[in-house]
């Protein structure tokens, strides 16, 4: 059986794990980031740091949030005196490596999963800090405010349109030439930016459904793929390792 060629569209600074897993499982990884991340010391982040002693909870939704806080405010994380909620094992692991105790991590690694846990705990009248990207979905802060909490929303990093468009154009060319066996998407923006660069969107959407195994990390990203009419699969647990395990299991079953 030949080695599958797997396209990775993650931001470059997050892609190493995915590429390593592909190689470990017997495939060849092609990296073409459709999203770039840039830590920023925004006014809203400065305000959150200033009010850190008022916080009852802080929520980290991605590892990049922690990276940004450490970059601009090296002592901030270690000086926190509040409870911590995270989304995802990787975020939780990085928080613990920075000396923090994770108080809450939802089984469902989505904003909705975290909201459900806060609802179960009947968390009300709390001050909750959420440093993240400004382009993130509004559902988390909105629902926490509806539960009666004050939310301090802070921009910790920017989600940027990919700077290396040529890498994506080369990936699209490889897809058209049937040189790619599978493609992975780990956020809605990785899909949207990919199709922003694709000239013949319908043609590429058809190829992703008919010629490639398209795998995404979870249901939120899946909704965007559905918008383009793409057939996809995603794992029961929304992590990169589980996504890759499902990809290789499915690919091998289809190519036996």
Residues 145 and 58 in one domain: yes
Token match 């909704």: residue? 223
Q: Which CATH number goes with the domain that contains 238?
A: 3.40.50.10090
Q: Mean pLDDT, to the nearest integer, of 219-224?
A: 96
Indicate if 203 and 102 belong to the same structural domain: no
Domain-terminating residue out of 160, 176, 207: 160
42 and 134 in a common domain? yes
156 shares a domain with 42:
yes
Q: Do 150 and 46 share a structural domain? A: yes
Any idea which residue has 């009300």 for tokens? 124
pLDDT at 19 > cutoff 60? yes
Q: Which of 160, 181, 213 is the last residue of a domain?
A: 160
The answer, yes or no, to whether residue 148 has pLDDT greater than 70, is: yes
Shared domain for 126 and 45, answered yes or no, is yes
Residue 188: CB atoms within 10 Å: 21
Q: How confident is the model at residue 163 (pLDDT cuts 50, 70, 90)?
A: confident
Residue 135 shares a structural domain with residue 178: no
Statement to judge: residues 94 and 125 lie in one domain: yes
Cα→Cα distances 101→55, 58, 72, 147, 240, Å: 15, 12, 21, 24, 23
Backbone angles phi and psi of 232, in degrees to 5: -145, 170
Which residues, in sequence order, are bridge partners of residue 83? 57
133 and 44 part of one domain: yes
| 220-233: average pLDDT | 97
Q: Quick check: 150 and 126 in contact, CB under 8 A? A: yes
DSSP E strand stretches across 33-126 = 36-39, 57-60, 83-86
pLDDT band for 2, please (50, 70, 90 cuts): confident
What digits encode the pLDDT tens for the residues 181-215?
Answer: 999 999 999 999 999 999 999 999 999 999 999 99
Q: Mean pLDDT, to the nearest integer, of 119-124?
A: 95
Q: Which residues of 89-117 are buried (b: 16+ CB within 10 A; e: fewer)?
A: bbbbebbeeeebebebbbebbbbebbbee
3-state secondary structure of 110: coil
Rounded Cα distance between 211 and 206, Å, is 8
Among 96, 127, 160, the domain-final residue is: 160
What percentage of the chain carries pLDDT values higher than 90? 95
pLDDT at 81: 95
Reported as a single tens digit per residue, the pLDDT across 169-180 is: 999 999 999 999
Q: 33 in helix, strand or coil?
A: coil
- Indicate if 42 and 154 belong to the same structural domain: yes
pLDDT for position 107: 92
Domain that holds residue 191: 5-35+162-254
Share of residues in the chain with pLDDT > 70 (%): 100
- At 60, the pLDDT band (50, 70, 90 cuts) reads very high
pLDDT digits (tens, 9 = 90+) for 35-54: 999 999 999 999 999 999 99
Q: Which of 10-14, 154-158, 251-255 has the lowest mean pLDDT?
A: 10-14
In terms of C-beta density within 10 A (0-12 exposed, 13-18 middle, 19 or more buried), how is residue 256 classed?
Answer: exposed
Residue-by-residue DSSP string for 214-239: EEESSHHHHHHHHHTT---B--SS-S
| Structural domain count of the chain | 2
Cα–Cα distance, 128 to 111 (Å, whole number): 14
Same domain, 45 and 125: yes
Q: Are 210 and 153 contained in the same domain?
A: no
Q: With bands split at pLDDT 50, 70 and 90, how would you rate the model's confidence at 1? A: low
Please state the pTM of the whole predicted model.
Answer: 0.90
């Amino acid at each position: 059986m030949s080695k599958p060629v797997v396209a990775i569209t993650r931001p470059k600074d997050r892609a190493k794990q995915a590429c390593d897993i592909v190689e470990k499982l017997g495939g060849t990884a092609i990296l073409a980031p459709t999203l770039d991340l840039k830590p920023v010391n925004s006014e809203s982040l400065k305000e959150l740091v200033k009010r850190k002693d008022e916080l009852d909870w802080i929520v980290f939704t991605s590892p990049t949030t922690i990276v940004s806080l450490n970059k601009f405010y090296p002592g901030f994380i270690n000086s926190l005196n509040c409870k911590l909620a995270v989304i995802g094992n990787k975020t939780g692991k990085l928080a613990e490596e920075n000396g923090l105790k994770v108080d809450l991590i939802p089984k469902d690694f989505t904003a909705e999963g975290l909201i459900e846990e806060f609802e179960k705990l009947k968390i009300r009248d709390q001050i909750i800090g959420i440093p993240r990207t400004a382009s993130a979905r509004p559902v988390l802060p909105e629902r926490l405010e509806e539960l009666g909490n004050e939310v301090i929303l802070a921009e910790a990093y920017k989600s940027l349109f990919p700077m290396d468009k040529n890498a994506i154009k080369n990936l699209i060319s490889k897809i058209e030439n049937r040189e790619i066996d599978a493609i992975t998407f780990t956020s809605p923006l990785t899909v949207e930016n990919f199709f922003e660069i694709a000239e013949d969107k319908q043609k590429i959407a058809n190829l992703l459904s008919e010629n490639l195994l398209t795998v995404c990390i979870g249901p939120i990203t899946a909704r965007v793929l559905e918008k383009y009419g793409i057939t996809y699969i995603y794992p029961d647990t929304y992590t990169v390792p589980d996504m890759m395990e499902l990809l290789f299991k499915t690919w091998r079953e289809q190519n036996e």
